[in-house]
Amino acid sequence: MNCIYCNSQIAETTDEHVVQSGLGARLSSKNLICKDCNNFFSRSDSGDIDKALVNQFKVIRNHLEIWSGRGQAPPILRNVTTEDGFTYDLLPGGIPVLAKTVRSRPIVEGSEIRLDIASPDLDKARVQYEHLLRQFGKNHKITSEVRQRLTYLKNPVHFGLTFGGEQALKGVLKSITNFLFYAVRDRNVSIGVTRDDLLEVINYLRYSGPKDSIAAAFDLKNEILLGIPPESFPIIVTVGAIPRHELIVGTLTVLGHITFSAILSNGYSGAEFGLGLAQFPNSSQLAFRQDVDFSNFNPDYPANYASHAVEFFATPQQRIEAILRVSYKRMTRKALEETIDKAFKDCFPPIGGIITAEHIHRLADHLAHNFVHLHYRIPQDLPFDPKALYFDE
């Protein structure tokens, strides 16, 4: 078996994810790529093809708590600064924690100097307290009051999402190319496509060769879906041949909504086919199809992206908003459940105790205080830069 990218024999097998694992995809193959090429695509001299695509979904993976296909936890969004000047890390699920320990300005009260320490956790707060002891303890009496208190973001966190750019779109081309050869080699699908049919896109990805008849773009128009509910956020990859246009084309849909289109070959003379695969993040569920319909694919797109951008510009924003609405509902529900659970534990007596009117009033006060401070939200006004979304000849 030869490597699809350098055509050398695969002497040492290596797992190649059909779609980048950082997007939540789990499907891999040992029949696609040699070790040298696998290493190349993860290095900077390739332009970080895999990382460039994956990193564009870091914010959404964090908010939806999507694990990678290799079992790595969702990314932490580090050093997010809010309008009040505080810097937070957002843990998976969008949970804010202070990025570093912060000391308040000292307040002089008579013979006392008071300052507050806010830390991501109690261990880091103790480190700061010990530092103060070393700094002032010889000549001053230092007392401490340790309180563990929930922190709420009182100002919204704004994220700008950009999709596309040449390196990320190379990742799209690579995923679709991988899928085509996965279907042939691992699924034994007989479609008559050889490596020579995709030689231009292969040389472009592996050796930065010319791309005269290939293109990829953030998709504003083509709709090639498998009839799977988008709320489940599947990763969908399709590839097919349209003989009347002499094309081999493909799409990659991430999170059920965000779609890229690609032309892999312009000059194909074989038979018509259409293949599709859906993978579900945080699940081993997988659906493979051999009857995907490409009849609606617009062959002028993505090569003539600019002529379509204005007409369909609202579409991607609507899709992103749909994802973020689900994310917001999940985070809000989780925060409310945790707040209610903690309120019951703090305000009610242990099991077997007698509940009085005082307990009920305490619970009402506790819930009212905490619900008032649930200010963390996701803005819906997300910017898009059309110039960053595509490349062509």
Residue 234 contacts residue 280 (beta carbons within 8 Å)? yes
pLDDT of residue 5: 95
| Domain boundaries, position 105 | 78-160
Strand ranges, E, within 49-200: 77-81, 87-91, 95-98, 102-103, 107-109, 112-114, 117-118
pLDDT above 50: residue 378:
no
Partner residues linked to 377 by β-bridges: none
In this structure, are 257 and 138 located in the same domain?
no
Alpha carbons 111 and 114: distance in angstroms, whole number: 10
Average confidence (pLDDT) over 264-275: 91
Task: Decide if 8 is inside a domain.
Answer: no
Domain boundary residue, one of 160, 194, 223: 160
Average confidence (pLDDT) over 352-363: 80
pLDDT of residue 376: 44
In this structure, are 148 and 174 located in the same domain?
no
Task: Decide if 175 is inside a domain.
Answer: yes
What is the percentage of the chain residues whose pLDDT exceeds 70?
Answer: 84
In this structure, are 118 and 230 located in the same domain?
no
pLDDT above 50: residue 377:
no
Task: Look up the pTM and report it.
Answer: 0.79
pLDDT of residue 393: 36
Partner residues linked to 2 by β-bridges: 9
pLDDT above 70: residue 69:
yes
Per-residue pLDDT tens for 151-170? 566 666 777 778 888 889 99
Per-residue pLDDT tens for 230-260? 777 899 999 999 998 999 999 999 988 888 9
pLDDT above 60: residue 9:
yes
In this structure, are 245 and 126 located in the same domain?
no
pLDDT above 80: residue 198:
yes
Task: Decide if 35 is inside a domain.
Answer: no
Q: How confident is the model at residue 371 (pLDDT cuts 50, 70, 90)?
A: low
Q: How confident is the model at residue 364 (pLDDT cuts 50, 70, 90)?
A: confident
Higher pLDDT pick, 12 / 119: 12
Give SS3 for 80: strand
pLDDT of residue 87: 80
pLDDT of residue 341: 82
The structural domain count of the chain equals 2
Task: Decide if 50 is inside a domain.
Answer: no
Distances (CA, A) of 283 to 82, 280, 286, 287, 346: 34, 5, 8, 12, 36
Half-sphere exposure of 307 (CA within 13 A, CB side): 7
Alpha carbons 250 and 294: distance in angstroms, whole number: 9
Higher pLDDT pick, 187 / 12: 187
Task: Decide if 360 is inside a domain.
Answer: no
Long-range contacts of 192-198 (CB under 8 A, 24+ apart): 192/270, 192/271, 193/241, 193/248, 193/268, 193/270, 193/273, 195/2, 195/4, 195/7, 197/248, 197/265, 197/268, 197/270, 198/248, 198/264, 198/265
Cβ neighbors of 13 (< 8 A, separation 6 or more) are 30
DSSP 101: -
pLDDT above 90: residue 90:
no
Nearest to 261 by CA among 382, 393, 161, 164: 164
Distance of CA 21 to the CA centre of its chain: 11
Sign (positive or negative) of CA dihedral 318, 322, 324, 329: positive
Task: Decide if 56 is inside a domain.
Answer: no
Domain boundary residue, one of 160, 183, 210: 160
pLDDT of residue 361: 82
Burial class (CB in 10 A: 0-12, 13-18, 19+), 301: buried
Half-sphere exposure of 379 (CA within 13 A, CB side): 11
Least confident of 116-125, 275-284, 341-350, 354-363: 116-125
Residue 339 contacts residue 374 (beta carbons within 8 Å)? yes
pLDDT of residue 182: 96
**Mean pLDDT value across the chain:** 81
- For the chain, what is the largest distance between any 2 Cα atoms, rounded to a whole number of angstroms? 89
Which range has the top average pLDDT, 67-81, 100-114, 155-169? 67-81
In the block, which residue shows the tokens 């009182």? 154
pLDDT of residue 390: 46
